């Protein structure tokens, strides 16, 4: 599931990306709760966001990645996911 999230994000495939999330999915960035749709539009889709995974932890539900977008440039980031009923119900990201 998480691997599909990364692929959809890197492919800028909104439909596939949102199809991987529960209807009530939530997220946070650097410990601050964010509006998932607004955040992904700004930080991913409208700013050509891409990531390259460096290391995977917690059985595949957490990883460290180099994340790049046209808004902030490149940064090392942590990602953690909660999965419910085969879909991502929450993800948390922040600088590593």
Q: What is the pLDDT of residue 34?
A: 98
Q: Give the span between the Cα atoms of 96 and 91, in whole angstroms.
A: 15
| pLDDT tens-digit series, residues 52-84 | 999 998 888 999 999 999 999 999 999 999 999
**Angle (CA) 45 46 49, round 5°:** 50
* Domain harbouring 26, CATH code: 3.10.450.50
| pLDDT tens-digit series, residues 13-51 | 999 999 999 999 999 999 999 999 999 999 999 999 999
Q: What is the pLDDT of residue 58?
A: 82
Check whether 86 has a pLDDT greater than 90: yes
The pTM assigned to this predicted structure is: 0.92
Into how many domains does the chain fold?
A: 1
What residues make up the domain containing 83? Answer: 2-95
């Amino acid at each position: 599931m998480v691997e599909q999230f990364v692929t959809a994000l890197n492919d800028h495939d909104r439909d596939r990306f949102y199809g991987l999330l529960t209807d009530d999915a939530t997220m946070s960035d650097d410990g601050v709760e964010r509006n998932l749709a607004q955040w992904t539009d700004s930080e991913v889709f409208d700013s050509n966001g891409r990531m390259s995974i460096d290391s995977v932890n917690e059985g595949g539900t957490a990883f460290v990645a180099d994340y790049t977008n046209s808004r902030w440039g490149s940064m090392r980031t942590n990602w953690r996911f909660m999965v419910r009923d085969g879909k991502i119900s929450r993800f948390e990201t922040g600088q590593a």
